[in-house]
Structure 1
Amino acid sequence: MKPLARYLIVLAPLMLAACAGTPEENEPAELTDFVIERDVEKLWSAGIGKGQGKGLYQLRPAIEGDTIYAVSADGKLQARDSATGKKRWKRDLELAVSGGVGIDSERLYLGTAEGKVVAYDLKGEQLWETQLNGEVLAPPVSDEEIVVAQTYDGQVVGLDALTGEKLWAFAASVPRLTLRGTSTPLLDGQTVYAGLANGRVVALDRKTGELRWEQRVAVPKGSTEIERLSDVDGSLLLHSGVLYAVGYQGKLVAIDVRSGRPLWERDLSSYSGAVEGYGNIYVADAQGSIHAFEQNGQGVVWTQTILARRKLTEPAILSGSLVVGDFEGYLHFVSQIDGHLVSRVRVDSSGVRAPMSVADDKLYVFSNDGKLVAYTFERDKPGFFKRLFGADE
């Protein structure tokens, strides 16, 4: 890809925003004061390489058992105790890492800017590497038998988890202009689900890669290539036999996984994925509003607009609160019930763009500059659960 084309892809969301209104209308919303209802405790922090690097990567930590694994764009791989942050081992891989960390109970998987998928054991020793056709921008996923990776050139590839042998490949058309990223494939039983840069979601046979069904989530519109961007870049959510997918300049769609037919849809533009909780589907849209939709599609529970244009991350859920990070490194905690702010902390000034990980009531955040931090809530203040649920504690 020519440097200019890559530059246009990286800046596409900014260019779209710049065309939308006056400079004042496009400024990030200023942070406002509010009453802190839940105190956030920082458990530990550590530095890992150069963090997300300059390629707009979104390298997400992975947790297996009591260990958290994180890798930086410049190939610094570390394993730490997830409770204390104590370093267990580290490796300098001398790789340009662009997608990771993928994990199963036996191996770690990384994707590289040179289009490789590389497997390591849980001690950091390399097991195999396989060359693919394009940059791998999302974590490879595995069920211990098969590894599925998605490349920037529109391929979804199945590999043998033990040897790295290529088993199958599914190729999709890619528009000339796309967002900088790919969705992370999702493995469930005998099916692989993937969101594509052409605005579609596909279901593939796990063993053969054959197409079972496809559903359009975003339809290209407009007269320019920028206006016609229609990627599905965010994580896919599978819950109770329904697949939730959201597209940039598209829709939030609930899809029946058996038939591939949409159950309901809402107009929405997002470059991140959805999460589920309290019977709601939560999505942060491309303009920085957070929405809670009823799972059955009957309506919108609430919408929070106070974080407009702050380039929010994919939401995470920690102990009854929804969490999003922003471009200035703040974490915003909002009520799952009605969307009001309950707490805020700052990781660092470099910003947060990678999805966060949650395990055992702990939130793990990997900032753009490489700060890995673990948070939890301190004991909730008196009356919190009464305010939250309208009931006695």
Structure 2
Amino acid sequence: MPQGNGFSLQLASRGRLLLSGLGLAAAIGLSACSSPAKFEPAPLAPPAALLGANLAWSTQVGTSGTSLTPLATAGRVFVAGASGTVAALDADTGKDVWRLDLRTGISAGVGSDGQTAAVITQTNDLVAIADGRELWRVRLPARAFTAPLVAGQRVFVLTADRSVTAFDGRTGARLWSQARPGEPLVLGQSGVLLAVGNTLVAGLSARLTGLDPLNGTIRWEALVASARGTNEVERLVDLVGTVSRQGDSVCARAFGAAVGCVDTSRGAVVWSKPARGSTGVHGDDRMVFGTESDGRVVAWQRASGERSWEIERLKYRELTSPLAVGRVVAIGDSKGLVHLLSREDGSEMNRLTTDGSPIVGAPVLAGQTLVVQTRNGGVYGWRPQ
């Protein structure tokens, strides 16, 4: 899957609202784009089991939050628990490569290039880890809900004040910071931060923004969705993770407003279509997949944005972002189920079970292993039969 996150150049030396300012943030409840509580999901039919999958391994990392999603890279799966546990797991066996207790709560992570890992604590500390030991930590000026990006011997952080900051990966020295003045409300959930070639791409409000990773200079901005509505809540359109990257094409969701694709070589929006969702998207070279706030699953054609298919049988199940892998699209739900859907028409291929608590974030692929993490801290890896 060409969803890489490493810079090609070698560098030298579900949601809440936040009212933020001066580095402070206060939580505000949000219900506009969540699944209506009065609607119960329809019973599921028996699993189809058209595609076999065996549970290869499972482990425990401790209770997890929505911004603590697993990361697969370099044959390892990096995971974190809300109470302070960070671990690197062997993707084949699920066994610990290393495990560290930071003894403080974690709010966002994990980011890693396969060697250095980084998380953000609930006290706004950015912590870098290598081989199971803490390398350094620095205090951030604002809260953060997006996993750090570790690439090119640097650690990049997107904070809730709509700032992107770069730190030296070896020392933690601050290298540069780029801030975008924005609206007073921001989302308290994971945003967009990735590398595309030699450009750092970040979601700043409703704009996908390309930055020079060496100095933070803005190279281009692409508006995925325009703010509408009569108040600040209705006008909130922050970009949310995950995204779908295929070469220079990056497709993303603007919270509650649209899904769109951007050509990052030109910084131009290719298409943007209305969509009422609060989680990220994923896809392949032909289609982009996403889940709407009411549980509908939608596939858009990557080239044009036209809809290829849509299913409603998973409505009101509080679905995660999807993962497109092989013949299927994998999606978790609030009951700890992982639904494997045909990427061609959305029909059911199989259904996998965990510990019954909500799946946290999108499933990830580590080699041939499909990995999910649950709210109760279970980490599960399946392989095709």
Judge same fold: TM > 0.5, yes or no.
yes
Pairs within 5 Å for 1:13-28? 14-17=31-34, 24=38, 26-28=39-41
> Which of 91, 96, 110 is equivalent to 2:100?
91
> Which of 108, 118, 132 is equivalent to 1:109?
118
Aligned residue in 2 for 1:69: 78
Pairs within 5 Å for 1:1-393? 6-8=26-28, 11-12=29-30, 14-17=31-34, 24=38, 26-33=39-46, 35-52=48-65, 57-121=66-130, 123-196=131-204, 198-277=205-284, 279-297=286-304, 299-378=306-385
User: Structure 2 stretches of 5 or more lacking a match?
Assistant: 1-17
Deviations 1:29-63 (A, max 9, x none): 443345331233111111112222xxxx3212233
Residues 289 and 307, structure 1, Cα contact 8 Å, conserved in 2: yes
The residue type equivalent to 1:311 in the other structure is E
Greater fraction helix: 1
Report the TM-score, using the length of structure 2 for normalisation.
0.87
Report the TM-score, using the length of structure 1 for normalisation.
0.86
Aligned residue in 2 for 1:382: none
For these two proteins, the number of residue pairs brought into alignment is 364
2:86 aligns to what SS in structure 1?
A: strand
The residue type equivalent to 2:354 in the other structure is V
The residue type equivalent to 1:279 in the other structure is R
Report the alpha carbon displacement of residue 256 of structure 1 after superposing the two structures with TM.
1.9
Residues 108 and 120, structure 2, Cα contact 8 Å, conserved in 1: yes
CA distance in 1, matches of 2:374, 2:305: 36
Aligned residue in 1 for 2:6: none
- Structure of higher CA gyration radius: 1
CA distance in 2, matches of 1:216, 1:261: 8
Deviations 1:6-27 (A, max 9, x none): 442xx31x34458x8xx75x43
Report the alpha carbon displacement of residue 186 of structure 1 after superposing the two structures with TM.
0.8
Give the number of the structure with larger relative contact order, counting CA–CA contacts within 8 Å between residues 6 or more apart.
2
Residues 221 and 227, structure 1, Cα contact 8 Å, conserved in 2: yes
Please identify, of 178-187 and 133-142, the stretch whose mean Cα deviation from structure 2 is larger. Answer: 178-187
Residues 160 and 186, structure 2, Cα contact 8 Å, conserved in 1: no
The residue type equivalent to 2:80 in the other structure is V
Report the alpha carbon displacement of residue 80 of structure 1 after superposing the two structures with TM.
2.7
Report the alpha carbon displacement of residue 162 of structure 1 after superposing the two structures with TM.
1.7
CA distance in 2, matches of 1:67, 1:367: 18
1:139 aligns to what SS in structure 2?
A: coil
Q: Output the aligned Cα RMSD.
A: 2.3
Greater fraction strand: 2
Label 1:69 to 1:254 Cα distance change in 2 as closer, same or farther (>3 A). Answer: closer
Please identify, of 335-344 and 266-275, the stretch whose mean Cα deviation from structure 2 is larger. Answer: 266-275
Residues 75 and 96, structure 1, Cα contact 8 Å, conserved in 2: yes
CA distance in 2, matches of 1:34, 1:44: 21
Label 1:65 to 1:239 Cα distance change in 2 as closer, same or farther (>3 A). Answer: closer
Identity level (%): 26
Label 1:37 to 1:144 Cα distance change in 2 as closer, same or farther (>3 A). Answer: same
CA distance in 1, matches of 2:123, 2:98: 25
CA distance in 2, matches of 1:226, 1:76: 34
CA distance in 1, matches of 2:26, 2:55: 37
Label 1:89 to 1:343 Cα distance change in 2 as closer, same or farther (>3 A). Answer: same
CA distance in 2, matches of 1:186, 1:219: 22
Residues 217 and 250, structure 1, Cα contact 8 Å, conserved in 2: no
Report the alpha carbon displacement of residue 210 of structure 1 after superposing the two structures with TM.
1.3
CA distance in 1, matches of 2:71, 2:58: 16
